[in-house]
Structure 1
């Protein structure tokens, strides 16, 4: 055909990552150098020959077998120039976020080791339906709306969301927006320590309040103002109204008195009390009536 094409190189693709040529294994593909159409299994239109790995890129020459109408069509369009790009399908074996493998504008890790398993003639390279990769046994066609399995870089200048979140957290904590992660973590640790101290103080205050309430209720039982079986009720009342109101309530209560204490033990009087003039007059009238 006489038209050598680039299969891949070290440059940044439109999905934000790079495939290092030095880490691409072509040995398996060279044993079965299929040429597909748009990465679709079953649409074999030929093979790739004279595959070379040199100068940071991999190149080869597409050969159309013309065994199908699709192959014959692709050959004509290739010769005419309306089809002129190819794309690789590869397995991701290893990736790296190390700065030595990153370039300006990169948003995903660099694929440092990979393996080519097919090459396709495509209409638009490194764009819709232009790159197919397999990771952990799953094939992803990036142009069909699938998510790229390579994660976004957190330390990439173009991906500043983590930095924005750190800035917002710093401002919320009362730190300057330029505070780094260490300063934010130190402030969070300080707040946690303060919270723990406040919680301990609150628990101690609650313990002291309960002790005061219990002592007041016990004193009320001792003074016969309440009975022992009312103890829990008055302790719960103290928790609700506070020790001052509880003391006021108990103070207003009268100690219980035994019934025996209300009965007189003094001996009965030996003489009757003097009669009133009216009673004496009535006695005189009754006596006269008896005489008659």
Structure 2
């Protein structure tokens, strides 16, 4: 029977660094999925050396967690003793052995309280069952052949401190903090800025949507009022989006609504076609347009004038 465990995640660990789950390459490990005890390899040639406990199968990433299934070697007495303690809940932690490939001081990757560079790319070498870790995310990191073991009681100086790469005083002042601000205070302020930026982006998106809806409503009303034609809709929507609703309204106010000949009597707007009695009352320059746009009205006025229907 296998045991599903969380091997690693991107949380801050006790060394004030973190390993990005998305940057862990475990393809090579899948070809040799070794499971050790306390990161110890049996190469010392001594009587108390411990052989591998088994393998770790079915590696996958779920919700920013690297997960695997522990499979203990049932033919190894020591492995069975470890398995027994695991079953009893005495042992319950695993720790990945990772080769550091790339470190990053990118501020966007920092978490509040982080003081060392982020391990942005790494290679999984092995997974160990450990007795006690410095936190819930015990790690063993390797760099240039040296091991940085984050299990409790062990230390290392491979990961570079952020403060050696950044001018913390300048950053504090930029954040509106006193230059005496601690690293934790600075990182907490960075976290607050990032959260605020996220909220601002969301609000800006909502405002842009509302602005677009308002512009579209203005343009559609202008089409309904016959100030512009429907084929010019996108042009005026873009004008409003680029220049603002006030400029759009000013522009549309300068446009006179289009009117048909039947909207005029004697060339004056404001009267209806019903007020025409015969064709001769329609301005001469409007008759052809009236015949084309309102043939029924034209025919009625023609017959009133000449007593017969028009022949086209």
TM-score (norm 2): 0.48
Q: Aligned pair in 2 of structure 1 residues 58, 148: CA closer, same or farther (>3 Å)?
A: same
Q: Aligned pair in 2 of structure 1 residues 146, 155: CA closer, same or farther (>3 Å)?
A: closer
Q: Aligned pair in 2 of structure 1 residues 114, 10: CA closer, same or farther (>3 Å)?
A: same
- The number of residues matched between the two structures is 166
| Alignment match, 2:231 | none
CA–CA separation in structure 1 for the residues paired with 2:133 and 2:86: 14
CA deviation vs aligned residue, 1:58-117 (integer Å, no higher than 9, x gap): 001111103332101011111111111100000000011111110100010100000000
CA–CA separation in structure 2 for the residues paired with 1:38 and 1:90: 14
User: What CA RMSD, in Å, does the superposition of the two structures yield over aligned residues?
Assistant: 3.1
Secondary structure of the equivalent of 2:142?
A: strand
CA deviation vs aligned residue, 1:5-52 (integer Å, no higher than 9, x gap): 100011111111110011100001000000101110023011011111
CA–CA separation in structure 2 for the residues paired with 1:80 and 1:125: 18
> 1:138: Cα distance to partner?
1.9
Contact 1:45 1:67 in 2 (8 A): no
| Alignment match, 2:159 | 150
Q: Looking at CA atoms only, which structure, 1 or 2, has the larger radius of gyration?
A: 1
Contact 1:38 1:130 in 2 (8 A): no
| Alignment match, 1:116 | 124
> 1:120: Cα distance to partner?
0.3
Q: Aligned pair in 2 of structure 1 residues 88, 7: CA closer, same or farther (>3 Å)?
A: same
| Alignment match, 1:33 | 33
Q: Which moved more, 1:45-54 or 1:119-128?
A: 119-128
| Alignment match, 1:5 | 5
| Alignment match, 1:49 | 57
Q: Aligned pair in 2 of structure 1 residues 56, 130: CA closer, same or farther (>3 Å)?
A: closer
Map 1:62-81 onto structure 2 (within 5 A): 62-81=70-89
| Alignment match, 2:111 | 103
Structure 1 unmatched runs, 5+: 167-176, 180-292
Q: Report runs of 4+ in structure 1 exceeding 3 Å deviation.
A: 125-130, 142-146
